[in-house]
Every structure is written in C-alpha cells, then in structure tokens.
C-alpha cells in the first residue's frame, strides 16, 4: 500500500513538473517576442520625434487644418445624359478655413449657386457612378469654390446626400 502511494505521488509530481516547464517556456517565448519587437519592428524614438515635430517654417498642409462646416443648399439638376431623363439631387457641406470665408460664402451665394449648378448639370450618369468620379466631383467643387472665395479658403467638401435617378 505504501508502494502505491509513492507511485501516485511520483505521477503527480511528474505532471506538475511538465506544467512548470510549460509555463517557463511560455514566459521565455513572450520575453523573446517582446525583445524582437522592440529591437527590430518598433519605430525608433528619434524617428518618431522627428515625424511629430514639424519644422518651424513649414506650413500646415490642408489635411491637418480644421475649419468650420457650412451647409450648402441641396441642388437638384438634370444631368447631361442624351435622353435628359436623369436627375441628380446633391447635398453638400463645405469646410472653410475661417469665419471671414464663412461670411464671404453668404456674400457670394448667387455666384456659388450658379457655378455649382453649371458644374453639376454638365455631368452625366456615367461620370458620377464610380467612387473615383465622386471624389473627383468633390475636388472640382472645392476648386470652383476656391476660385470664388480665394485660394485655400475651402479645405474640404463633404457630400451629405446624393441621389441619381
């Protein structure tokens, strides 16, 4: 009977020994993975600081500037399709640089509407059906508004509603 108890204790000790070895191996693998990441894959501190701190004489690109959103009226136009049976309903908001530009948008509202109506009515269904075409339309609207309001006044154009029928 004593002999059987020793064998059971030996079996339990053997299982416990393998569990401890497994835990130690997992800890070593984790430490090795962390070491490998920090030495080879993680960005260097100097590189990160250089990317975050722009030079003093650099001008902020338009992508980093934030402005005020100004809604434009919803445009409903006939598209320039051969049969003339397609319509475009387009709602947009424009992000402007400063309050002066926002005031200028109210002042030049008739010019803005005229310019955008002419631009939108010159489009066809095919020229608006792809994602690239929609992005190009946003850029064209921004360019036309910047011609009226002054270069760099309009930062971004957001399409809030678009229906083509």
Q: Where are the domains of the chain?
A: 2-52, 68-164
Residue 5's pLDDT is 59
Residue 24's pLDDT is 93
**Total-model pTM:** 0.57
Rounded CA separation 105/112 (Å): 8
Residues of the chain predicted below pLDDT 70: 1-13, 45-65, 84
How many CA atoms within 13 Å lie on the side-chain side of 36?
6
Residue 21's pLDDT is 92
CATH 3.40.50.1970 fits domain 68-164: no
User: For residue 152, what is the enclosing H or E element?
Assistant: none
User: For residue 6, what is the enclosing H or E element?
Assistant: helix 2-36
What count of other Cβ atoms lies within 10 Å of the Cβ of residue 163?
A: 11
9: phi then psi, degrees, rounded to nearest 5: -65, -40
Q: Give which of 110, 105, 79, 104 is closest to 93, Cα–Cα.
A: 105
Residue 62's pLDDT is 47
**pLDDT tens digit string along 37-61?**
887 777 776 555 445 544 444 444 5
Contact 116, 74 (CB under 8 A): no
Residue 56's pLDDT is 46
């Amino acid at each position: 009977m004593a002999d059987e108890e020793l064998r059971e204790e030996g079996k339990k000790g053997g299982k416990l020994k393998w569990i401890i070895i497994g835990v130690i191996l997992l800890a070593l693998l984790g430490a090795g993975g962390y070491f490998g990441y920090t030495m080879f894959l993680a960005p260097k501190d100097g590189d990160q600081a250089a990317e975050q701190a722009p030079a003093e004489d650099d001008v902020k690109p338009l992508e980093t500037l934030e402005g005020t959103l100004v809604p434009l009226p919803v445009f409903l136009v006939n598209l320039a399709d051969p049969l003339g049976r397609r319509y475009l309903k387009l709602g947009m908001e424009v992000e402007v640089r400063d309050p002066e530009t926002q005031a200028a948008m109210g002042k030049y509202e008739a010019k803005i509407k005229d310019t955008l109506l002419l631009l939108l009515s010159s489009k066809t269904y095919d020229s608006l059906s792809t994602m690239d075409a929609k992005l190009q339309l946003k850029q064209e609207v921004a360019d036309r508004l910047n011609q009226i309001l002054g270069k760099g006044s309009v930062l971004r154009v957001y399409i809030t509603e678009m229906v083509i029928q």
